[in-house]
Chain A
Amino acid sequence: MSVREVGRSMVHVAALGGILVAAACGGGGGGEGSPQMLTGAGATFPYPVYSKWFHAFNQATGHQINYQSVGSGAGVKQFAENTVDFGATDGPMTDDEIAAVGGKVLHIPTVLGAVALTWNLPGVTALRLDGPAVADIFQGRITKWNDPRLVALNPGTALPDRELIVVHRSDGSGTSFIFTDYLAKVSPAWKSSVGAGKSIAWPVGLGGKGNEGVTQQIKQVEGSLGYVELIYAMSNSLPSAALKNSNGDFVMPTLESVSAAAAGTTFGPDTDFRVSITDAAGAGAYPISSFTWLLVHPTLPDAAKAKALHQFLDWMVTPEAMAMAAELHYAPLPAPVVELVKTRIATLQ
C-alpha cells in the first residue's frame, strides 16, 4: 500500500520535474534558479520520509531529487565513489572511510530512529527491561522467562517458567548496528565478546530476514523476544518493552522519548554529528535511539547543484518539514540540534 503510494508520488515527482525542466529550457533557462537534478543513495530506513520530503521540495522549488534506497553500506560506497550527489546512512562513516574520501564529508542528521524490543508470551502484555538484562538475554545468559532478574524488573507480572527464545536480524542492517551499539555501551561483556556492527556473530537465537522476518518468527514462536525498528513496531501494533535509561527511568519507545534522547545529548559547537545517542542521559530519553544521516560533500564541483542541495537542507530543518517526518512516525530533530545543523549547513559552499 505505502509502496504503491510512494511509487505514485515518484511518478508525480518525475512528471513535474520533466515539465519544469522543459519550461526552463524553453525560457532560455540556465539562470541561477533553474531546476536541478540531484541524485542520492543509501539508507532504506528513512526512505519513506525522504521520498515525501523530495516530493514536497520538488513541488515548492522545481528541483528534482532522485533517491535510491539501496542500503547504508551501498550509500556510503556510492558517496565515496562520487556516483551520487549525496549519500545517506544509518551508521556514521568510520574514520577509515572518512580518510578514504580525504575527509571531505559532512554528516547532516535528518530524523531519528529507534529500536523496539517486542515479544510473544501469552498473558504478558507489558514488559520492563534494563540494558544489562537485554545484553544477557542476547548472550544466552538469561534463558528462562522467570529468571530472577526479569522477575525483579517486572513486579506484579507473572512470568512463566518457560524457555526464552531470542530472535534477531539475519541480514546486515542499521537496526542491528544501533541495537548492538547500545548493548556494547551497557554491557562490558557484550562489548568484549560480541561487539557492535551491522552483521553480528550472534551467540544465541534465530535469525529472521528483515523486520518482517523477525516479526513473523516472534509471532510463531511462543516465548520469543526480538528487536525491530520502532516505526515497524508502531505501524504493526506490536507490543514494545519499556527500557530503563541511564537516569533510572523506565521509558517506552515513542516519538517524544526518542527525540528526548537526542535533546539530552550535549554536542560540542564543532561536532561532526557522528555521535551515538544510544544509552543517552536525560529525563524520558529512550535508550536505543539513533540519528540517521545525509552524507554531503563540503564543496560540490557543480555550483548550481550545490546551491540546490543547500536549499534542500535549509528547507529540511524547517518546522514544516519536520512535521512531515512526525506524521510518518519518525522522531523529528529537537530544537537545539536543528540550530546546530543550521549553522553547519551555512558552512557549505
Chain B
Amino acid sequence: MPTTPPPDDVATSDASLALSAWGDRIFKGLLVASALAAPALLVALLWQLLSGAAPAIGAFGFSFITDSIWDPVAEKFGALPLVFGTLLTSFLALLLAVPLSLGVAIYLTEFAPERIRQPIAMVIELLAAIPSVVYGLWGIFVMIPILQSSVYPFLEANFGWLPIFQGPIYGPSVLSASLILTIMVMPFIMSVAREVLLAVPAGQREAATALGATRWEAVTTAIVPYAKSGIVGAIILGLGRALGETMAVTMLIGNRHDIAASLFAPGYSMAAVIANEFAEAGLGTLHASALTYVALILFAVTVLVNAAARLMIWRMNRGAGK
C-alpha cells in the first residue's frame, strides 16, 4: 500500500510545536512561581514576626506602644520613645527635605538651562547610592563637629526661647539624626518628583502661558497642581526610607530611651534599638520577643506607608491616562 508518509518537515514542525508548547508551560510556571514568591515571603516574614513577638504581645498587649520604660534587666518593655523617635526624626527630615527636593525638581524641569539639567539630576541621584554606614561615619566625623561648633550654638542663641532649642548640646541628638536623614531621603524625593513633573503634558504649560501667566504662576497654578498626587507619592516614598533607616540613625541619635522636648537631646528609634540589642538579647527571652514586637510595629508602619505610596502612584497614573 503506497501511503505517502507525511513530509519530514511537517513532522518536525509538529514536534517542535509540542516542544514549544511545553516550553511555554514551563516558562509560565516559572513566572507564576517567581510572582508568588514575593507575597509568600511577605507572609512568611509577617508570620515569623508575629510568632516571635507573641510572648511580648501576651505580656504587654497594646500598652507596649504607650509605655516608656525599656528595662531589659527587669524585663519591662515599652516602645513609646522608640515610636516617637522614629516618627519625629522622619517627620523633621521630611520637613526639611521636601521643600529642598521640590525646589530642585521644579528648577530642573522648568527653569534650569537644558545642558545642566541632566548632570545635576545625576549627581543628586548618586547620593542615593552611598551606603548608610558611610553617611553615619560622615555624620560623626564631619557633620556633628560642624553642627556643634556653629549651627547648634547659633540656634540656641537666636531661638533658645523655643523649648526645642534648649538644654545642653552633646552632638549626637534627635536633630543630628534628622539632618542626616534629610540628606539621605532628598535624592529619592527629588528624582521621583522630577519624573512626575516631566510627565506633566506640555499643553498644561502652554495653556497657562497663553492665559498670560508668568513662569512662576504657571508652575504654581498649572504644573504642580497637575502633578500633585505624584509628588505626594514621592514624599511618601521618602518617608518610607526615613522610617526604616537604621545604621546612620543609630550612629547619630544618641541612643537614649527617652522623650525630650529639646531637639538637642539624644533620642532613640525603632530600627536603632533592634540593631543595638538584638545580637545579644538571647533567643527565647522576653527581651528578644520585645525587640521582635518593635520590628512588627516598624513593619506595620512601613507597609502602611508603602501601600499609601502605591495608591498615590496608581491615582496619578489613572489621572494621566484620562
Which residues of A are at the interface with B, using a C-beta cutoff of 8 A? 70-74, 76-77, 163, 165, 170-174, 194-202, 205-209, 213, 216-217, 220-221
B73 within 8 A of A: yes
Contact B73 A170 (CB under 8 A): no
Q: Nearest residue in B to A205 (C-beta to C-beta)? A: B256
Known: A199-B280, A199-B287, A207-B254. 7 other contacts (CB 8 A): A172-B72, A172-B280, A199-B72, A200-B72, A206-B254, A206-B255, A207-B255
Whether A221 and B171, one on each chain, are in contact in the complex, defined by CB atoms closer than 8 angstroms, is yes
Q: Kindly state the separation between the CA atoms of A201 and B275 in the bound complex, as whole angstroms.
A: 16
- Report yes or no: B170 in contact with A206, Cβ–Cβ below 8 A: yes
Interface pair A72/B280, CB less than 8 Å apart: yes
Distance between Cα atoms of A311 and B229 in the complex (Å) = 70
Complex A-B, nearest 6 residue pairs according to Cβ-Cβ distance, in ascending order: A207-B255, A172-B280, A170-B255, A195-B73, A201-B71, A199-B72
Q: Taking each of B141, B172, B277, which has the highest tally of chain A beta carbons within 10 Å of its own beta carbon? A: B172
B73 near A194: Cβ-Cβ < 8 Å: yes
How far does the alpha carbon of A258 sit from the alpha carbon of B303 in the complex, in Å? 51
Residues of chain A contacted by B172 (CB below 8 angstroms): 206, 208, 217
Q: Give which listed residue, A77, A195, A206, contacts B282 with CB less than 8 A.
A: A77
* Known contacts A170-B255, A209-B255, A220-B171, A198 near B280 by CB under 8 Å: yes
Tell me whether B279 is interfacial, beta carbon within 8 Å.
yes
Residues of B within 8 A of A194 (CB): 73
**A172 with B145: CB separation less than 8 A:** no
Does B54 reach chain A (CB closer than 8 Å)?
no
In the complex, the answer to whether A207 meets B140 with C-beta atoms within 8 Å is: no
* Inter-chain contacts of B306 with A (CB < 8 A): none
Residues on A with C-beta less than 8 A from B250 are 170, 209
Q: In whole angstroms, what is the CA distance A163 to B167 when docked? A: 12
Can you name the residue of chain B whose Cβ is closest to the Cβ of A74?
B279
Instruction: Tell me the bound Cα distance from A165 to B282 in angstroms.
Output: 30
CA distance A196 to B72 in the complex (A): 10
Q: List residues 152-205 of chain B with CB under 8 A from any CB of chain A.
A: 168, 170-172
Q: Are A199 and B266 closer than 8 Å at their CB atoms?
A: no
Residues in A neighbouring B287, C-beta threshold 8 A: 199
Distance between A144 CB and nearest chain B CB, rounded to angstroms: 12
Q: Give the docked Cα–Cα distance between A163 and B141 (Å).
A: 23
Complex: how many Å from CA A217 to CA B255? 12
Pair B281/A206 contact, Cβ less than 8 Å: no
CB closest residue in chain B, given A207? B255
Q: Total contacts A to B, CB within 8 angstroms?
A: 93
In angstroms, Cα B148 to Cα A151, docked, is 29
Q: Taking the nearest CB of chain B, how far is it from the CB of A247, in angstroms?
A: 29
The complex places the Cα of A165 from the Cα of B264 at a distance, in Å, of: 14
Q: Cβ of B266 and Cβ of A171 under 8 Å apart?
A: no
Decide: A206 and B276 in contact? CB cutoff 8 A: no
Contact B266 A207 (CB under 8 A): yes
Contacts known (A197-B73, A199-B72); A73 close to B280, Cβ less than 8 A: yes
Q: A170-B276, A209-B250, A213-B251 are in contact. Are A199 and B170 (CB under 8 A)?
A: no
Q: Is the interface of A mostly helix, strand, loop or mixed?
A: loop
The answer to whether B276 touches A209 (Cβ under 8 A) is yes
Check if B279 sits within 8 Å of A73, measured CB to CB.
yes
Q: How far is the CB of A121 from chain B (nearest CB, A)?
A: 15
Range class of the B interface residue count = 20 to 34
Residues of chain A with a CB closer than 8 A to B69's CB: 201
Collect the chain A residues with CB atoms within 8 Å of residue B36's CB. Answer: none
Q: Which residue of B lies closest to A196 (CB)?
A: B73
Collect the chain B residues with CB atoms within 8 Å of residue A171's CB: 275-277, 279-280
CB pair A173–B148 under 8 Å, yes or no, is: no
Among A76, A165, A200, contact of B73 (Cβ-Cβ < 8 Å): A200
In the assembly, what is the distance between CA of A276 and CA of B69, in Å? 28
Alpha-carbon separation in the docked complex, A237 to B68 (Å): 38
A172 & B73 in contact (Cβ 8 Å cutoff): no
With contacts A170-B250, A213-B251 taken as known, whether A201 is within 8 angstroms of B70 at the C-beta atoms is: yes
Residue interface bits B59-97, CB-to-A below 8 A is 1, else 0: 000000000011111100000000000000000000000
Distance, CA A217 to CA B272, complexed state (A): 17
B141 to chain A, nearest CB (A): 8
Is there a chain A Cβ closer than 8 Å to B320's Cβ? no
Give the distance in Å from the alpha carbon of A282 to the alpha carbon of B282 in the complex: 34
Are A199 and B277 touching (Cβ within 8 A)?
A: yes
Bound: A72/B260 CA distance, A: 33
Given A206-B255, A217-B171, A221-B171, is A201 in contact with B73 using a C-beta cutoff of 8 Å? yes
* Chain B residue contacts of A199, Cβ below 8 A: 72-73, 276-277, 280-281, 287
| Closest A residue to B77 using CB positions | A201
Q: Does B100 contact A (CB under 8 A)?
A: no
Cα–Cα distance between A134 and B66 once the two chains are bound (Å): 33
Give the complex CA separation of A172 and B273 in angstroms.
Answer: 10
Distance A115 CA – B111 CA, assembled complex (angstroms): 60
Q: Nearest chain B CB to A70's CB is how many angstroms away?
A: 8
Q: In the complex the two chains form, is B256's CB within 8 Å of A207's CB?
A: yes
Q: Which of B71, B145, B257, B280 has the most CB of A within 10 A?
A: B280
Selected contact of B251 from candidates A72, A73, A76, A209, CB within 8 Å: A209
What's the minimum C-beta distance from A340 to chain B, rounded to whole angstroms? 28
**Given known contacts A209-B251, A221-B171, is B281 in contact with A197 (CB within 8 Å)?**
no
| Cβ contacts under 8 Å, B74 to chain A | 195, 201
